[in-house]
Chains A and B, each alone.
Chain A
Amino acid sequence: MNITVCVKLIPNAEAQTRIDLQSMTLDRSEGLVLDDSDTYSVEMALQIVEAQGSGEVTVVSMAPRDGADGLRTALATGASNAVLVSDSALSGSDALSTAKVLAAVVRRVGADLVLCATESTDGYTGTVPSQLAELLGYPSVTFARRVEASADSVVVERQTEEGFDRVRCPIPVVISVTAGIVEPRYPTFRGIMRARSLPIDIVSLADLEIPEVGAGALGARQTVLAAVANEGRGAGVVEVDEGNAEERIVELLSEWKVI
C-alpha cells in the first residue's frame, strides 16, 4: 500500500510568532519545521506500510524552499520520498488553494491512502483534508482515533460528539488522524544520515500544471482588514499552598454558586 502524507511546515514554535503587518500574513522567515501534529500521521503511515510488508510512504508539503529541512525530519523516521511544492505565486494561499496543490501532487505520485493531521498548529482551519478528498473525488474519514488497514479497505474509529463511529471505507481514501493515537518514533542516526542523501522532489505550479492565476493570495478571495491586540484578563490573587488551599477553593466555588 502506497501512502501519501500531507504535512505542514510551520514556523518554529520557539521563534517569536508575529504577523507581517504589510501583507497581513504570518511571518515565516524564522525557519520552518515539521508541525508536531503531522508526526502522528507520518508514524501511522509507517506502521501501516510495515504491517503490510510492502509499499512506500511519500511526504508532501507546500512551503518555501527552505522548508526542505523540515521534510527531512519525516525522511529520517522512514518515509521513502518527499515532494515540496514551492512557488512564489503560492504565497498567501488559503486552505482551498492549498488543497488544490496537494490534490495535484497526489494525482502525480498516486496513493492508495492519503493521510493528514486534523488541523495545523498555526493556521488550524481543519478543512484541508475534506477539501482535498472532494477535489480528488475520494471518500474521507476525518478525526480518526484508530486506523486498521487491509489490502483494499480501512476500518477507522472516527471521533464524534457522542463517542466514536466505526467506519469502513474502500481505498483510495483521505484520512485525517487526531494527535496522540500512535507514538511517533524518533529518527535514528542511520535514518538521519539516510535522509541527508535522499533527494527532495521540488516542484513548481508549472510542473503541476496549475495556472498561477487564482493561486496564492488572490485565489484566497478573502482579506484581513485588521489585527488588533486584545486586553489581557487581569491576574487575580495567587497564593502558595500551605496545606489548606482547598478551603479557599471550596469557599470560592460556593461563592460562585457552583456547589
Chain B
Amino acid sequence: MIGPIWVVCEQRQGSPRPISLELVSAASQWSEEVCGIAYGESVSDGATVLGAHGLRRLFDLGDLGDALVGPRVASAISAAITSNGAPSALFIPATYDGRDIAGRLSAKLDLPLLTNVVGLSEQDGVLVSEHAIFGGTRTVTARFTNDADMSIFVIRPKSFEAKSAGGPAAEIGRLELPKPGPADAAQVIEHHVEERTGPSLDEASVVVSGGRGLGEPANYALVEQLATLLHGAPGATRAIVDAGWVPYAYQVGQTGKVVKPEVYLACGISGAIQHLAGMKNSRHIVAINKDPLAPIFQSSDFGVVGDVNKLLPRLIKALEARAR
C-alpha cells in the first residue's frame, strides 16, 4: 500500500466519465485513501457510483462558469496541496482537459510528469508506470526518482478496468477555487455539442475506422454509414485527419484516442504502428485493404484483400437486408 492518491474525476452533470471509474478502481488497489477532485454541475450525484469503485472522498470545485478547465483546476489542486499537504500520487486522465491540468500543475509545482501511462504496478512501495512505445511493440517501465515528491501520472483511457467493489458513497467535501489570475483570461463564449447518433469512440462496442485507402474524403461517408448500422462509432487514421478529411476527435492511434471495442473494422488502413497503438487491444479486428502485404493483416483476426470502396457498399447492403 502506498499513501493517499488523488484522482481528477471528469464528469458530466453528475455522471462520472468511464475514465474516472477506471482511475478510481486502479487507485484503490494501492491506497486506502483515494480522494477525487471534480468540477462542473451536480458533482455530488456521482458520489454513489464513485464510492462503489473505491473513492473515499469527493472534493467538489463547483461549476467553473465560462473558464477553461486547465488553469482553474490546477490552481485549486495546488492550493489544496498548500493547505492539506500533498498526496503520494495524483492520477490525471489523458484527455483534452486532463492534459491541460497536468501541464499547468507540473509547471506550478515544478514537478515532472509521467504521461501516456497504460499500466501501473507497485514495486518497493512506489508506483512504477508502463508506457507503450513504437506502436505498442515495446513496453517501457519508468518511475520517478524523488520518492518524497508527489508522483503525477497522466493515464490513458482504457488502461484499467472499472471495478465496482460495492463500497459506500464517497463523502462530499468542498474545495475553494482560488481567485482567477492572468492565466485564466480565456473565456468560453459558446459550448457546441456535436450531434452524435451513436456512442462515443471511447465507449462504442464497434468501431469502424477509415484510412487513406478510401481514396477521397467523400468515401468516408461509407465508414460513417457502416458505423451507424452497427451502432458503433466512426474513427480515422492520422493520415486522413492530417489531410483534413475529418476532425482530430476521430483520430485513433498513439496520438489520438485509444479504443478497445469488441470489434474493430479497419477500412483502407495500412496499419502503421502509430495506428496499431490505438486499436490493437480490440477484442476482434477485421481489416480490408487492397495491399496483401499491408501490416494491418498481421494484427487482424480476419483480413480481406480487396477494394474497400466496392466491399463496403456490399457490406452495408447485406447488413440492411439482415435488419429487415
Q: Decide if A258 touches B184 in the complex (CB within 8 Å).
A: no
Determine chain B's interface SS by DSSP, over half rule: mixed
Q: Decide if A247 touches B318 in the complex (CB within 8 Å).
A: yes
For the complex formed, measure the closest distance between the CB of B257 and the CB atoms of chain A, giving whole angstroms: 10
The 0/1 profile, CB within 8 Å of A marked 1, for residues 77-120 of chain B is: 00000000000000000111001101110111011111110000
Q: Decide if A221 touches B146 in the complex (CB within 8 Å).
A: yes
Q: Decide if B193 touches A163 in the complex (CB within 8 Å).
A: yes
Chain A residues with CB below 8 A from B163, complex form: none
B29 at the interface (CB under 8 A from A): no
Do A131 and B103 contact each other (CB < 8 Å), given the known contacts A245-B311, A256-B283? yes
Q: Given B74, B232, B304, B310, which contacts A239 in the complex, CB threshold below 8 Å? A: B304
Instruction: Select from chain B the residue with minimum beta-carbon distance to A242.
Output: B306
A225 at the interface (CB under 8 A from B): yes
The 0/1 profile, CB within 8 Å of A marked 1, for residues 248-281 of chain B is: 1100001100000011000000000010000010
Q: How many residues of A contact B (CB 8 A)?
A: 87
Q: Decide if B248 touches A167 in the complex (CB within 8 Å).
A: no
Q: Decide if A36 touches B304 in the complex (CB within 8 Å).
A: no
Provide the bound-state CA to CA distance between A237 and B298, in Å.
10
Q: Decide if B112 touches A220 in the complex (CB within 8 Å).
A: yes
Which residues from 211 to 242 on chain A have a C-beta closer than 8 Å to any C-beta of chain B?
220-230, 232-233, 235-241
Provide the bound-state CA to CA distance between A85 and B193, in Å.
41
Chain B residues with CB below 8 A from A142, complex form: 70, 96, 99-100
Provide the bound-state CA to CA distance between A246 and B12, in Å.
39
Chain B residues with CB below 8 A from A17, complex form: 134
A195 at the interface (CB under 8 A from B): no
Do A225 and B142 contact each other (CB < 8 Å), given the known contacts A159-B247, A235-B299? yes
Provide the bound-state CA to CA distance between A252 and B206, in Å.
13
Q: Decide if B139 touches A130 in the complex (CB within 8 Å).
A: no
Chain B residues with CB below 8 A from A163, complex form: 191-194
Which residues from 114 to 140 on chain A have a C-beta closer than 8 Å to any C-beta of chain B?
118-119, 121, 124-135, 137-140
Q: Decide if B286 touches A225 in the complex (CB within 8 Å).
A: no
A61 at the interface (CB under 8 A from B): no
Q: Decide if A125 touches B192 in the complex (CB within 8 Å).
A: no
B188 at the interface (CB under 8 A from A): yes
Q: Decide if A139 touches B128 in the complex (CB within 8 Å).
A: no
A173 at the interface (CB under 8 A from B): yes
The 0/1 profile, CB within 8 Å of A marked 1, for residues 177-188 of chain B is: 000011111111
Binds B, one of A64-72, A74-82, A174-182: A174-182
Determine chain A's interface SS by DSSP, over half rule: mixed
Chain B residues with CB below 8 A from A133, complex form: 71, 103-104, 183
Q: Decide if B114 touches A121 in the complex (CB within 8 Å).
A: no
Do A235 and B137 contact each other (CB < 8 Å), given the known contacts A141-B68, A223-B142? no
Q: Decide if B305 touches A238 in the complex (CB within 8 Å).
A: yes
Q: Decide if B297 touches A238 in the complex (CB within 8 Å).
A: yes
Provide the bound-state CA to CA distance between A139 and B67, in Å.
11
Q: Decide if B255 touches A167 in the complex (CB within 8 Å).
A: no
B5 at the interface (CB under 8 A from A): no
Chain A residues with CB below 8 A from B102, complex form: 127, 130
> Could you give 26 example pairs across A and B, Cβ below 8 Å?
A121-B255, A125-B113, A125-B116, A127-B102, A127-B103, A129-B103, A133-B103, A137-B183, A159-B96, A162-B12, A163-B191, A164-B192, A164-B194, A166-B188, A166-B189, A166-B192, A167-B188, A180-B242, A228-B141, A229-B138, A233-B280, A240-B306, A241-B310, A245-B306, A246-B317, A259-B230
- What 4 A-B pairs come out closest when comparing CB atoms? A241-B306, A130-B103, A163-B194, A134-B107
Which residues from chain B sit less than 8 Å from chain A, CB to CB? 12, 17, 68, 70-71, 74, 94-96, 99-100, 102-104, 106-108, 110-116, 128, 133-134, 136-146, 149, 154, 181-194, 200, 205-206, 230, 232, 238, 241-245, 247-249, 254-255, 262-263, 274, 280, 283-286, 288, 292, 297-307, 310-311, 314-315, 317-319, 322
